[in-house]
């Protein structure tokens, strides 16, 4: 069984511009390439899990997410990093695009994308981590038995201020690189 880092995309790996829908707005954080290289060297599969409900709302063109992910991987590869897989949820229960405006099993914090990755790639979720900038990312991880880290980039600082009293989390970190140091130190 393999172990993985499940990464939220917008606000965690790249700047969250809100419904990213054109390549010129794709901006990786300056530490993203190095952070992913360190995690890979530590033996983790690197898997993006991202809600892209802009597809269901007609705010993102069909096919753009694939174009965006190809470009993201190209930039990571240029720096000696890469991703093993990318999963996205195109749905929204109240969207406008037929076929995508549904109650699905994959919209975070529901675990569908992680369940798919566990099945597709033979991953042990209890040996894995989820990193994201929202409590829904943290709770996605907690729901599948993984450990979770909230990063303060993207929406994270605001989320930290609005932390529900019952919310649990392994760590709150300034950014993805800080999260990597927590993960590496935990072994
Ligand atoms: Mg995010
Ligand atoms: Zn979905």
Instruction: At 112, list the tokens.
Output: 């569908």
The token duo for 31 is 């530490």
Q: How far is the CA of 78 from the centre of ligand 2 (A)?
A: 31
Peptide bond into 109 cis (omega under 30): yes
Fill in the DSSP letter of residue 134.
S
Residue 16 among the catalytic residues = no
Per-residue confidence of the chain (187 residues) as pLDDT tens digits?
A: 999 999 999 999 999 999 999 999 999 999 999 999 999 999 999 999 999 999 999 999 999 999 999 999 999 999 999 999 999 999 999 999 999 999 999 999 999 999 999 999 999 999 999 999 999 999 999 999 999 999 999 999 999 999 999 999 999 999 999 999 999 999 7
**Distance of alpha carbon 29 from alpha carbon 35, whole angstroms:** 10
Of residues 72, 74, 76, 94, the one with CA closest to residue 20: 72
Residues 74 and 51: their CA atoms lie apart, in Å, by: 21
How far apart CA 187 and CA 176 sit, in angstroms, is 17
Nearest to 50 by CA among 69, 78, 71: 69
10 in active site: yes
Which of 8, 16, 133, 137 is catalytic? The answer is 8
């Amino acid at each position: 069984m393999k172990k993985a880092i499940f990464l939220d995309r917008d606000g965690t790996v790249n700047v969250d511009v809100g419904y990213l829908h054109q390549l010129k707005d794709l901006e990786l954080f300056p530490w993203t390439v190095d952070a992913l290289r360190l995690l890979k060297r530590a033996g983790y599969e690197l898997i993006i899990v991202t809600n892209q409900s802009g597809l269901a709302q007609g705010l993102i063109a069909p096919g753009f997410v694939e174009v965006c992910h190809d470009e993201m991987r190209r930039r990571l590869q240029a720096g000696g990093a890469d991703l093993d897989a990318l999963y996205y949820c195109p749905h929204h229960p109240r969207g406008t695009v037929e076929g995508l405006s549904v109650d699905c099993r994959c919209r975070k914090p529901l675990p569908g994308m992680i369940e798919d990755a566990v099945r597709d790639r033979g991953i042990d979720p209890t040996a894995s981590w989820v990193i994201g900038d929202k409590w829904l990312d943290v709770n996605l991880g907690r729901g599948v038995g993984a450990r979770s880290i909230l990063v303060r980039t993207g929406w994270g600082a605001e989320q930290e201020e609005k932390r529900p009293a019952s919310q649990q989390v392994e760590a709150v970190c300034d950014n993805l690189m800080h999260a990597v140091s927590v993960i590496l130190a935990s072994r």
